[in-house]
């Protein structure tokens, strides 16, 4: 049994990391907004989904023009990524302006409800447009980066089986790592990052220190949404097929990842996302082996959430979160 | 002059009749005379003629209309004039029931061909049962349609719960699968199909090397696929719908799993091909809808259909045609039994249920006590290429 598990470990690790990086980057959006506004922005999963659709639409359009063959695919992808990030970033700012800013001083529950409202709105809007254009809301983009690379993990040690990775996995991983590193640098080392951290600590005092709170919050939404939208494009490239409802489950998982890592903490969100992805993949590949067939792969989410509960019992602030001192 | 007067009388008479019929209050019209002195008998169709599945609903209606037109002369000799009365159920149970009430109130209607959706057929048939109007369904596969043991409900197509066993028979027989991996999507349809397949495949001597579930709506199925990879089965069966099925097939092929995939009619969609792309090769699906042009009579039907309506046949066109054939055969039997006098609805209903060995264009029909067709068949289609529809491969009779 142990042998079977070990054999598949390299492949499981690769697939888990792919899913985990997607969770991690989406979790960043949740955690940034929560850190600043203490608002759970449930529309974030839908921004991710919108990004996936915008990106796929652009790729389909450009493929239609025949530009894909003229340009190296990677240049094309970077262009699409940047454009989508810009658009979804603006979308996120717009949502904040319309749905959250007027309610900033309302009870916490109210913006939560508008967030859910926005997410339904986005789902159905995208579905409507997709159905109008394609006659079907399940959209399949052009296949890029489908080349398979074999890694001979069996040569490291004979207990491992060979693993294979898609080229797109490397692209997802590299782009996600770049995004996370740049964000980390931005928040910790720049003036605007300092302003963001100041607003997160105390909005009123920050405004007294001549920090433009509204601008900082808009910026936060822009960055979070841009990252989410770009991840959507990466997701569409990796998995090929998207529909307007992908944001829901992925958003939920990413939110969980943010809580696991410590909500409000950017590095925690990254760690939580990667952990959740790997755990989930491990569970779905090995649960029936471990339990002798009693629990199948369909219990992978149960497994992942049991781990989450266990972590929160012993460390309620999440893995990297700091205990909040009660402000008196 | 006299001629013109009688003509105008006739016209206004028929106008009044149609108005009455439209209001559903034609209770007095039951023995009314048609244009040439013969009694009018109407057969209704109830299918979606508008909305998303209008193409299939229209196909059933046109098929039924063709059968009815072909048999008009025969019934004229018996002294009756046949008429088709199409209703649009919009694929909506509420609308189907409302139409069923209209049908029940129109005493000239002696039978119904329909529906397309099991969800509409089930509540509507309660009304038909009340009025004792025989319904013959060309397309409803849900088990509950006939499992309620209603006297009026019959179907010429197969049942959902035989689709799994039919798949298992093909997989273990023609494909020679010995080690099978089963994946299902945890929905009523997917689990039911997968369980029926699994049970039947085990009985036929195949080994089930894995049985796993996935979550509808997710896009990454690599966990389960890694299990498939390590178990090395020679067939993978998927109980579920095309959106997840397409992704599983695609992701499995990317990992180098080249064995055949099999699924039920839930995979029967052009979107499956769109999602899976080239990976869709070597995928098999079972379906209750047969290949019309596979038989001589079917080919002839397709030709006539094209000539009459200037449209290509849909998978269910010929089932509409055969369902109408069944209704009219029952009607004919009832008329003859009644000494050429106008039968009651109940007599027609019984005659339809008692039908044995009716030979349609592509189906053979004998109803059992529940109204299921003893000769219902299942069909296996294969994707040879990244294009829809798949190619007809085999037919499997119901045991």
Which positions in chain A touch B243 (Cβ < 8 Å)? 138, 241, 243
d(CA B270, CA B55): 15
Q: Which residues contact B166 (CB under 8 A, 6 or more apart)?
A: B158, B286, B378, B380, B396, B398
pLDDT above 50 for B29: no
**In a shared domain, residues B212 and B185:** yes
Question: What chain B residue is nearest to A281 in terms of C-alpha separation?
Answer: B223
Looking at chain B, which residue has its C-alpha nearest residue A240?
B275
pLDDT at B174: 87
CA distance A287 to A13: 15
Q: Which residues pair with B41 in a beta bridge?
A: B82
Q: What pLDDT was estimated at residue A77?
A: 87
Contacts of A293 in chain B (CB under 8 A): 211
Pairing of strands B283-287, B261-263: parallel
The pLDDT score that the predictor gives to residue B274 is: 84
For B228, the domain range is 161-287+379-396
Q: Nearest Cα to A92, choosing from A232, A278, A270?
A: A232
Residue range A292-320: average pLDDT?
83
Quick check: is A85 in a domain?
A: yes
Cβ separation B230–A243 shorter than 8 A: no
Instruction: Looking at the complex, report in whole angstroms how far the Cα of residue B211 sits from the nearest Cα belonging to chain A.
Output: 7
**Probe site for chain A from B194, B223, B238, B243 (most A CB atoms < 10 A):** B223
Are B340 and B386 in the same domain?
no
Residue A191 lies in a domain: no
Nearest-Cα residue of chain A relative to residue B255: A164
Of the partner residues A15, A136, A296, the one whose CB lies closest to the CB of residue B222: A15
Cβ pair A307, A279 in contact under 8 A? yes
H helix or E strand, kind and range, residue B287: strand B283-287
Give residue-wise pLDDT tens across range B312-329.
888 888 999 999 999 999
Q: Which residues of B touch A292 (CB under 8 A)?
A: none
pLDDT at A328 over 60: no
A163 has pLDDT over 80: no
Mean per-residue pLDDT, B186-209:
88
Location of structure tokens 């939404």: A221
B239 and B309 belong to one structural domain: no
How confident is the prediction for chain A on average, in pLDDT? 85
Residue B229 lies in a domain: yes
Residue B151: what pLDDT? Answer: 92
User: Which pLDDT does position A327 carry in this prediction?
Assistant: 47
A159 part of a folded domain: yes
Q: How many CA atoms lie within 13 A of A131 on its CB side?
A: 8
pLDDT in tens, B99-157: 999 999 999 999 999 888 888 999 999 999 999 999 999 988 888 889 999 999 999 98
Say if residue A301's pLDDT is above 70. yes
Instruction: Specify whether B184 is located in the same domain as B202.
Output: yes
Tell me, what CATH number does B182's domain have?
Answer: 3.40.50.2300
Query: What value does the mean pLDDT of chain B take?
Result: 86
Convert the pLDDT of each residue in B47-60 to its tens digit: 998 876 788 889 89
Does B370 reside within a domain?
yes
- CATH number of the domain enclosing A83: 1.10.3470
Is the pLDDT at A149 greater than 90? The verdict is no
- Nearest-Cα residue of chain B relative to residue A10: B226
What are the chain A neighbours of B186 within 8 Å (beta carbons)? 298
Contact B226 A12 (CB under 8 A): yes
The reported pLDDT for the residue numbered B190 is 85
Q: Is residue B232 part of a domain?
A: yes
Question: Quick one: B258 and B383 in the same domain?
Answer: yes
Domain assignment present for B193: yes
Same domain for B367 and B383: no
Task: Tell whether B15 is covered by a domain.
Answer: no
Per-residue pLDDT of B172-185, as tens digits, reads: 988 888 999 999 98
- A280 near B CB under 8 A: yes
Residue A46 at interface with chain B, using a CB cutoff of 8 Å: no
Structure tokens at B141: 């596969």
Closest-approach residue (CA) in chain B for A146: B254
Can you state the percent helix, strand and coil of chain A, rounding each to 5? 75, 5, 20
The pLDDT of A35-60, averaged and rounded, is 90
**Chain A CA closest to residue B220:** A239
Q: Is A297 within 8 Å of B271 when comparing Cβ atoms?
A: no
Structure confidence at residue B19 as a pLDDT band (50, 70, 90): low
Q: Do A148 and B254 touch (CB under 8 A)?
A: yes
| Range of weakest confidence among A8-12, A107-111, B169-173 | A8-12
| Mutant choice from B53, B227, B232 vs A, greatest count of A C-beta within 10 A | B227
Grade residue B8 by pLDDT with cuts at 50, 70 and 90.
Answer: low
This model of the complex carries an ipTM of 0.80
Looking at the structure of chain A, the number of domains it has is 1
Question: By residue range, what is the domain housing residue A239?
Answer: 2-183+217-314
Q: How many domains, in total, are found in chain B? A: 2
pLDDT one-digit tens code per residue, B350-394: 999 999 899 988 888 999 999 999 888 888 899 988 887 788 888
Q: Does A243 touch chain B (CB under 8 A)?
A: yes
Say if residue B372 is in the same domain as residue B383.
Answer: no
Q: Do residues B230 and B330 share a domain?
A: no
Mutation test of the interface with chain B: which of A250, A298, A305, choosing the one with the most B Cβ atoms within 10 A? A298
Instruction: Give residue A138's pLDDT band: very low, low, confident or very high (50, 70, 90).
Output: confident
**Residue A268, in any domain of the structure:** yes
> With a CB-CB cutoff of 8 Å, which residues 146-205 of chain A face chain B?
146, 148, 161, 164, 166
Question: Is the domain of B182 the same as that of B140?
Answer: no
Residues B265 and B244 in one domain: yes
Angle at B373 between CA B369 and CA B375, to 5 degrees: 130
> Does position A67 have pLDDT exceeding 80, yes or no?
no
* pLDDT of A130 over the 80 cut: yes
Shortest distance between the Cα of A114 and any Cα of chain B, in A, equals 24
Answer yes or no: is A224 within a domain.
yes
My answer on whether B134 and B214 are in the same domain is no
Interface residue A3 vs chain B (CB under 8 A): no
CB contact under 8 Å between B219 and A297, yes or no, is no
Q: Is A164 helix (H, G, I), strand (E, B) or coil?
A: strand
pLDDT per residue as tens digits for the range A102-121? 988 888 889 889 999 999 99
B180 in the same domain as B141: no
């Amino acid at each position: 049994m142990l042998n079977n598990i070990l054999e598949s470990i390299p492949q499981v690790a690769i697939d888990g990391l792919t899913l985990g990086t997607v969770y991690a980057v989406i979790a960043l959006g949740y955690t940034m907004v929560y850190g600043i506004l203490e608002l759970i922005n449930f529309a974030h999963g839908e921004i991710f989904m919108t990004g996936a659709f915008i990106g796929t639409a652009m790729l389909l359009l450009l493929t239609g023009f025949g530009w894909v063959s003229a340009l190296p695919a990677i240049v094309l992808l970077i262009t699409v990524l940047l454009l989508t990030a810009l658009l979804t970033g603006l979308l996120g700012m717009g949502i904040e302006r319309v749905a959250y800013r007027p309610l900033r001083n309302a009870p916490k529950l109210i913006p939560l409800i508008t967030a859910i409202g926005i997410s339904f709105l986005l789902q159905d809007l995208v579905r409507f447009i997709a159905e109008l254009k394609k006659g079907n809301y399940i959209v399949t983009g052009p296949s890029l980066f489908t080349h398979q690379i074999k890694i001979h993990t069996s040569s490291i040690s004979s207990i491992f089986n060979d693993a294979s990775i898609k080229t797109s996995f490397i692209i997802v991983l590299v782009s996600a790592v770049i995004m996370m590193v740049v964000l980390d640098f931005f928040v910790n080392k720049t003036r605007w990052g300092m302003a963001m951290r100041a607003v997160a600590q105390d909005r009123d005092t920050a405004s007294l220190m001549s920090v433009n709170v509204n601008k900082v919050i808009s910026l936060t939404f822009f960055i979070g949404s841009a990252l989410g939208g770009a991840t959507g494009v990466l997701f569409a490239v990796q998995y090929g097929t998207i529909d307007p409802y992908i944001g829901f489950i992925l958003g939920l998982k990413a939110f969980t990842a943010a809580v696991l890592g410590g909500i409000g903490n950017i590095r925690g969100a990254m760690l939580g996302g990667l952990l959740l992805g790997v755990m989930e993949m491990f569970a779905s590949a090995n649960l029936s082996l471990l339990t002798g067939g009693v629990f199948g792969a369909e219990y992978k989410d149960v497994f992942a959430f049991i781990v989450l509960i266990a972590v929160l019992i012993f460390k309620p602030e999440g893995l990297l979160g700091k205990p909040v001192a009660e402000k008196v | 002059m006299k001629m013109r007067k009688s003509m105008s009388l006739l016209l206004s008479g028929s106008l009044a009749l149609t108005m009455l019929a439209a209001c559903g209050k034609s209770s007095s019209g039951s023995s009314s005379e048609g244009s040439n002195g013969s009694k009018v008998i109407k057969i209704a169709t109830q299918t979606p003629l508008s909305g998303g599945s209008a193409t299939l609903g229209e196909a059933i209606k046109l098929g039924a209309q063709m059968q009815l037109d072909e048999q008009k002369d025969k019934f004229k000799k018996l002294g009756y004039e046949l008429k088709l009365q199409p209703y649009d159920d919009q694929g909506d149970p509420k609308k189907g029931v409302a139409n069923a009430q209209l049908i029940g109130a129109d005493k000239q209607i002696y039978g119904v061909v329909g529906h397309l959706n099991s969800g509409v057929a089930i509540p509507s048939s309660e009304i038909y049962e009340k009025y004792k109007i025989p319904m013959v369904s060309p397309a409803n596969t849900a088990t509950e349609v006939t499992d309620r043991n209603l006297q009026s409900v019959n179907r010429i197509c197969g049942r959902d719960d035989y689709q799994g066993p039919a798949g298992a028979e093909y997989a273990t027989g023609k494909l020679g699968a010995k080690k099978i991996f089963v994946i299902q999507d945890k929905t009523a349809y997917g689990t039911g199909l997968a369980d029926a397949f699994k049970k039947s495949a085990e009985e036929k001597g195949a080994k089930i090397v894995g049985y796993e579930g996935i979550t509808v709506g997710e896009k990454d199925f690599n966990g389960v696929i890694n299990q498939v990879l390590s178990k090395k089965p020679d067939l993978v069966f998927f109980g579920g719908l095309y959106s997840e099925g397409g992704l599983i097939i695609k992701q499995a092929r990317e990992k180098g799993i080249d064995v055949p995939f099999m699924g039920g009619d839930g995979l029967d969609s052009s979107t499956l091909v769109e999602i899976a792309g080239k990976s869709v090769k070597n995928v098999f699906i079972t379906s209750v809808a047969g290949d019309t042009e596979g038989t001589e009579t079917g080919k002839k039907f397709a030709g006539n259909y094209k000539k009459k309506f200037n449209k290509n046949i849909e998978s269910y066109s010929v089932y509409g045609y055969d369902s109408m054939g069944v209704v009219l055969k029952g009607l004919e039997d009832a008329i003859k039994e009644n000494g050429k006098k106008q039968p009651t609805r109940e007599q027609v209903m019984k005659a339809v249920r008692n039908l044995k060995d009716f030979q349609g264009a592509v189906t053979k029909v004998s109803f059992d006590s529940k109204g299921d067709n003893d000769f219902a068949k299942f069909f296996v289609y294969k994707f040879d290429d990244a294009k829809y529809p798949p190619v007809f491969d085999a037919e499997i009779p119901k045991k």
